Amino acid sequence: MPTSCANGSTASPVPDDAGRRGQERADRLARIQRRFAEFAAEYAALPLYSALCRNLAGDAETASLLLAARPGQARPVLWLAALHELVLRRADTPAARWYPSVVGQDSVPQGDPWPDVRRTVLEHRDELVERIATSATQTNEVNRAVYVSVGLAAAAADLAGTPIALVELGASAGLLLGIDRYTVDLVGADRTVTLGDPASPVRCSGVDRAEVGAQLAVGPVLPPVVARVGLDLSPVDLNDDDAVRWLEACLWPDVRGRVERFRAARALLRPDPPVVLAGDMVDDIDRAVWRARDAAGTDAHVVVMSSWAITYVAAPRRLALETRLSTLARDLSALSWLTAEPPACAPGISAHDLREDGGGTVVGLRRWRGGRELEPVVLGTCNPHGQWVDLSLRAVDNRTS
């Protein structure tokens, strides 16, 4: 209703600061609840997380915890990770029994988790808000070893037997740096080809859509990795239980095998963890490359890789990274740059001709030999967690064509 002013004119009510803030909060909360609804629809196949998000979409009191998130961080995965961290730490909370990562895949009860989850959230509201207000999600996905190992074999196709100094940009806890210590099964239509250590307690696997395993069986195999150095803005120490628990909490507990694989990889690498330097992938890349090269020897083949990391860097910084690498190449006998990133992210790797297959991850390779760059190669696409790969080595290894 219009209000009458002292001078007799009429005007709409002007909300005071508190009213405006209240409206902004209500709008933000509505957006957050919409995101929970979208998450539930997109991941309907995940029994626990889709059920939680469906309920959160209609429950303002529990969804509102996400209002505490830092700008740009108010995403359902942060809320879900905060609660997951709590139940990993406190198996005595009512919600914990619904988590396969706490009780085991086969001990999760049938029924509706929401009453137990809601109770837990409201009882631990303050610590969950604190976690949401101070954290961002971070991952280290071990099954990405499936496409990284194919990429590594491709990078080394012309340098069989030359020791590798492996450098990972955005390495998180460095779990992918242990790639040659895992079993990687490429599951083709007729046969499974295994890379890495077949006796490893860490098993990674992906469906091999283009039979790249058959090419590997007659062509290059994984070269020896003799030095490994990671670089990350927020490196995670494998011996820091709290930090590792947060990484684990950011995994989705009802994706079968994901948490178990993460734990197995941590246990394997923990006694002698790979070095992960704190630093920026553009500003500090020289430090990481020289540390790895010095440990491996002058003739080593330096392979710089990134998987779902360059995508977090602004486009002009990606070009600065490309410039750094081509400059470094002048002083290295062999340098390869292996990228597994979203389309149009890695400089010089064109995804133009790739068919749209829903993978959203393009595996590309750039190589400098004796300071001169060879033709860039697009190996193909894959699922971002390595569940399938559609890759070919034909462009890098003429023995397989």
Ligand X SMILES: C[S@@+](CC[C@H](N)C(=O)[O-])C[C@H]1O[C@@H](n2cnc3c(N)ncnc32)[C@H](O)[C@@H]1O
User: In the bound complex, what is the minimum distance in angstroms from residue 62's beta carbon to ligand X?
Assistant: 27
* CA–CA dist 387, 144 (Å, integer): 8
Query: Does 65 participate in binding ligand X (rule CB under 6 A)?
Result: no
List binders of ligand X among 217-246 (CB under 6 A): 231-234
User: In the bound complex, what is the minimum distance in angstroms from residue 256's beta carbon to ligand X?
Assistant: 18
Tokens at residue 83, please?
A: 């609660």
**Is the CB of 48 or the CB of 148 nearer to ligand X?**
148
**Is the CB of 55 or the CB of 138 nearer to ligand X?**
138
**Could you please report the per-residue DSSP string of 73-106?**
---HHHHHHHHHHHHHH-TTSGGGGG-HHHH-GG
Q: Count residues near ligand X (CB under 6 A).
A: 20
Among 84, 144, 261, 366, binds ligand X (CB under 6 A): 144
Among 40, 146, 281, 349, binds ligand X (CB under 6 A): 281
**Is the CB of 108 or the CB of 269 nearer to ligand X?**
269
User: In the bound complex, what is the minimum distance in angstroms from residue 104's beta carbon to ligand X?
Assistant: 24
List binders of ligand X among 151-180 (CB under 6 A): 170-172, 176
164 closest CA partner among 363, 326, 336, 393: 336
Tokens at residue 157, please?
A: 């196709």
**Is the CB of 124 or the CB of 318 nearer to ligand X?**
318
* CA–CA dist 16, 297 (Å, integer): 68
H/E segment holding residue 377: strand 377-382
Among 62, 138, 149, 205, binds ligand X (CB under 6 A): 138
User: In the bound complex, what is the minimum distance in angstroms from residue 90's beta carbon to ligand X?
Assistant: 26
User: In the bound complex, what is the minimum distance in angstroms from residue 280's beta carbon to ligand X?
Assistant: 4
Query: Does 280 participate in binding ligand X (rule CB under 6 A)?
Result: yes
Task: Give, in order, the Cα–Cα distances in Å from 189 to each of 203, 315, 392.
Answer: 19, 39, 15
Amino acid identity, position 167: V
Tokens at residue 290, please?
A: 């020289």
Taking CB under 6 A as the rule, which mask of x and - marks residues 175-214 in contact with ligand X? -x--------------------------------------
Amino acid identity, position 236: V
**Is the CB of 211 or the CB of 237 nearer to ligand X?**
237
Query: Does 141 participate in binding ligand X (rule CB under 6 A)?
Result: yes
CB atoms within 10 A of CB 23: 11
Query: Does 140 participate in binding ligand X (rule CB under 6 A)?
Result: yes
In b/e form, how buried is each residue of 339-378, taking b as 16+ CB within 10 angstroms?
bbbebebbbbbebeeeeeeebebbbbbbbbbeeeeeebbb
Query: Does 312 participate in binding ligand X (rule CB under 6 A)?
Result: yes
88 closest CA partner among 290, 307, 245, 195: 245
Q: Which stretch binds ligand X (CB under 6 A): 52-60, 135-143, 187-195, 341-349?
A: 135-143
Phi, psi of 366, deg, nearest 5: -120, 140
In the complex, the residues that contact ligand X under the rule CB under 6 A are 138-141, 144, 170-172, 176, 231-234, 280-281, 307-309, 312-313
